């Protein structure tokens, strides 16, 4: 129905002595109010003089645009302000009123729905079915909502007065508000939740946020947080998810460059090498310790600063370590950037729960944020894309000596005490010469990876074994802390118990 206008009477239609409706007030949500007036004279130039027969209902006080009229008073009014003959007014006013009421009701329900959906964005509900979509138009203007979720976090985890809102704020960033809301609906004590609900989807990310919270606290309050290793979190789902993102980017003509990871030698576990190609750049935090063993900053065996304050290295570097150097209690260095990791794991778990179909913007962002966190961590440590350790590893992994490495290793490291002389005695002169040639070749390869300022004079082809040993000891002394297991990188040592 088209909105009726009140201005329909032409001056020519007005008759002196007849009665008309003269609207005095038009509410936005109800029927207009009119005075009953009688035309006294038609004055020309769009004016008539009327006498008020009945002023009608009184407009509310201070009503906007209301006209004041008194009974029996005469007024000159504009013809266009007269609505219609009085006998038509009741019906006309009722129809306008009905239309306005419908319109206002519609607006109200629209506002109610909006209010409802806004409120719903921060209502934690474990029984909520996983939403079809998390990307939404409110994603930016949500500081207040994140504040509400901070309070919800305390309730969901039963933290009471043990935390301040300031401690929680860094956890509830970057992800869309509804995703964080649903992470809070998951139980961190490994209760699985009803299948299909958010409580069942976000278990890992809920746990990680809690770990992040505890691991960032002072050591004395942080007794024994089990900070996960990247290997505990990253497997075939995560690889498939990242490959889908990379393929999507490639399909649209772009390319996402991952931080570089060197090819690792064959003696590193094959599954590890596979995952290293996609995730080897991830930062792991190494606990403060003066001992030989490597620990996670949450390990109960050491006294360490919080996870974000300790040293960190790329994961691939730890993959090269001998398992004997990794603490058996904590399994060694652990995930550093726990909050971005929680977001990434949330993205993967939602993707998987939805049957690995399309990837939303926030999900791709969660992966890129992991890269960004790595870049930030590296920036703080002034670490370049390619380090010397990277170069030495990549160079020595390229053409490893395989089984022949043992003899070359024995030739370089033999002493009166380590019984390697027996191994050397078993070699024929031809085998000894081959071992000498191989040792020279490997040391030359290692030196080629060094910056020119650190290179010594090239070793002559016929270099004497004693000279070679001195060179080996010198290189070992200077670089054994640069890369783990330098001997193994140099000489492979197949069958050596790692
Ligand atoms: Zn430990």
Strand 33-44 with 19-25, pairing:
antiparallel
**Ligand 1 centre distance from Cα of residue 217 (Å):** 18
In this prediction, what percent of the chain has a pLDDT beyond 90? 70
Domain ranges within the chain, ordered by starting residue: 11-112, 143-380, 388-491
Average pLDDT of the chain to the nearest whole number: 90
**Full-prediction pTM beyond 0.95?**
no
**Ligand 1 centre distance from Cα of residue 219 (Å):** 14
User: Contact, 348 vs 238, CB < 8 A?
Assistant: yes
**Ligand 1 centre distance from Cα of residue 298 (Å):** 8
**Ligand 1 centre distance from Cα of residue 302 (Å):** 7
pLDDT given at position 236? 94
Cα-based torsion angle of the residue sequence 137, 139, 140, 146 in order, rounded to the nearest 10 degrees: 140
**Ligand 1 centre distance from Cα of residue 485 (Å):** 20
Phi-psi sector, 123: left (phi>0), alpha (psi -120 to 50), beta: beta
What is the rounded distance in angstroms from the CA atom of residue 171 to the CA atom of residue 410? Answer: 53
What is the rounded distance in angstroms from the CA atom of residue 99 to the CA atom of residue 94? Answer: 9
**Ligand 1 centre distance from Cα of residue 41 (Å):** 103
User: Contact, 215 vs 304, CB < 8 A?
Assistant: no
> Domain 11-112 is in which class?
mainly beta
User: Contact, 439 vs 408, CB < 8 A?
Assistant: yes
**Ligand 1 centre distance from Cα of residue 186 (Å):** 29
> Which of 121-135, 264-278, 337-351 has the weakest average pLDDT?
121-135
pLDDT given at position 74? 93
Q: Which residues contact 332 (CB under 8 A, 6 or more apart)?
A: 229, 294, 295, 296, 318, 321, 325, 326
**Ligand 1 centre distance from Cα of residue 283 (Å):** 17
What is the rounded distance in angstroms from the CA atom of residue 460 to the CA atom of residue 454? Answer: 18
**Ligand 1 centre distance from Cα of residue 274 (Å):** 26
**Ligand 1 centre distance from Cα of residue 393 (Å):** 26
**Ligand 1 centre distance from Cα of residue 450 (Å):** 33
> Which of 108-117, 238-247, 252-261, 371-380 has the weakest average pLDDT?
108-117
pLDDT given at position 68? 86
Give the environment of ion ligand 1: residues with CB less than 5 A: 295, 299, 301, 327, 329-330
Structure tokens at 361: 């913007």
Q: Which of 336, 323, 269 is nearest to 296 (CA)?
A: 336
Core vs surface per residue 122-157: b (16+ CB within 10 A) or e:
bebebebebeeebeeeeeeebeebbebbbebbbebb
**Ligand 1 centre distance from Cα of residue 484 (Å):** 18
What is the rounded distance in angstroms from the CA atom of residue 55 to the CA atom of residue 22? Answer: 9
pLDDT-derived band of residue 3, with 50, 70 and 90 as boundaries? Answer: very low
**Ligand 1 centre distance from Cα of residue 293 (Å):** 8
What is the gyration radius of the CA atoms in the chain, in angstroms? 40
pLDDT-derived band of residue 223, with 50, 70 and 90 as boundaries? Answer: low
pLDDT-derived band of residue 422, with 50, 70 and 90 as boundaries? Answer: confident
Residue 169 burial (10 A CB sphere; 0-12, 13-18, 19+): middle
pLDDT by residue (tens digit) across 36-77? 999 999 988 889 999 999 999 888 887 888 888 999 999 999
**Ligand 1 centre distance from Cα of residue 193 (Å):** 32
Q: What is the 3-state secondary structure (H, E, C) of 337-383?
A: CHHHHHHHHHHHHHHHHCCCCCCCHHHHHHHHHHHHHHHHHHHHCCC
**Ligand 1 centre distance from Cα of residue 228 (Å):** 12
**Ligand 1 centre distance from Cα of residue 329 (Å):** 5
Please count the CA atoms within 13 angstroms of the CA of 273 that sit on its side-chain side: 11
Q: Which of 339, 358, 315, 291 is nearest to 132 (CA)?
A: 358
**Ligand 1 centre distance from Cα of residue 296 (Å):** 6
**Ligand 1 centre distance from Cα of residue 299 (Å):** 5
pLDDT by residue (tens digit) across 132-157? 999 876 655 588 889 899 999 999 99
């Amino acid at each position: 129905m088209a909105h009726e206008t009140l201005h329909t009477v032409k001056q020519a239609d007005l008759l002196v002595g007849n009665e008309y409706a003269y609207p005095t007030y038009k509410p936005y949500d109800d029927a207009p109010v009119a005075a009953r007036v009688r035309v006294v004279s038609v004055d020309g130039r769009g004016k008539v003089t009327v006498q008020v027969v009945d002023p009608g209902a009184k407009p509310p006080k201070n009503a906007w645009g209301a006209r004041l009229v008194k009974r029996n008073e005469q007024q000159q009014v504009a013809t266009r302000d007269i609505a219609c003959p009085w006998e038509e007014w009741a019906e006309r006013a009722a129809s306008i009123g009905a239309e306005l009421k419908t319109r206002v009701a519609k607006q109200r329900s629209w506002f109610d729905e909006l209010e409802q959906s806004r409120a719903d964005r921060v209502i934690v509900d474990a029984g909520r079915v996983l939403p079809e979509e998390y990307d939404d138009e409110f994603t930016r203007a949500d500081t207040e909502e994140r504040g509400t979720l901070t309070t919800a976090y305390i309730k969901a985890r039963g933290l009471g007065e043990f935390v301040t809102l300031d401690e929680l704020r860094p956890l509830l960033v970057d992800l869309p508000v509804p995703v964080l809301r649903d992470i809070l609906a998951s139980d961190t004590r490994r209760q699985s939740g009803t299948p299909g609900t958010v409580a069942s989807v976000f278990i890992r990310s809920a746990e990680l946020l809690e770990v992040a919270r505890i691991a960032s606290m002072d050591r004395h309050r942080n007794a024994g947080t089990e900070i996960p290793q990247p290997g505990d979190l990253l497997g075939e789902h995560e690889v498939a998810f990242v490959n889908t993102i990379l393929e999507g980017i490639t399909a649209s003509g772009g390319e996402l460059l991952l931080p570089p990871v060197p090819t690792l030698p064959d003696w590193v576990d094959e599954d590890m090498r596979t995952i290293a190609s996609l995730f080897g750049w991830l930062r792991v935090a190494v606990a403060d310790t003066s001992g030989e063993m490597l620990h996670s900053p949450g390990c109960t065996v050491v006294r360490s600063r919080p996870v974000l304050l300790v040293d960190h290295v790329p994961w691939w570097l730890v993959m090269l370590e001998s398992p004997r150097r990794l603490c058996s209690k904590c399994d060694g260095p652990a995930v550093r950037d726990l909050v971005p990791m929680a977001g990434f794991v949330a993205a993967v778990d939602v993707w998987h729960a939805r049957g690995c179909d399309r990837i939303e913007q926030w999900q791709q962002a969660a992966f890129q944020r992991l890269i960004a966190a790595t870049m930030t961590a590296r920036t703080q440590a002034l670490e370049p894309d390619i380090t010397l350790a990277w170069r030495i590893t990549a160079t020595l992994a390229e053409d490893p000596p395989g089984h022949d490495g043992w003899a070359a290793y024995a030739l370089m490291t033999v002493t009166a005490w380590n019984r390697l002389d027996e191994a050397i005695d078993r070699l024929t002169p031809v085998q000894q010469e081959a071992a000498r040639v191989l040792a020279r070749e490997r040391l030359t390869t290692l030196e080629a990876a060094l910056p020119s300022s650190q290179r010594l004079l090239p070793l002559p082809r016929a270099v004497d074994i004693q000279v070679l040993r001195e060179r080996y000891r010198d290189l070992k002394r200077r670089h054994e802390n640069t890369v783990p297991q330098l001997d193994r990188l140099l000489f492979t040592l197949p069958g050596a118990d790692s």
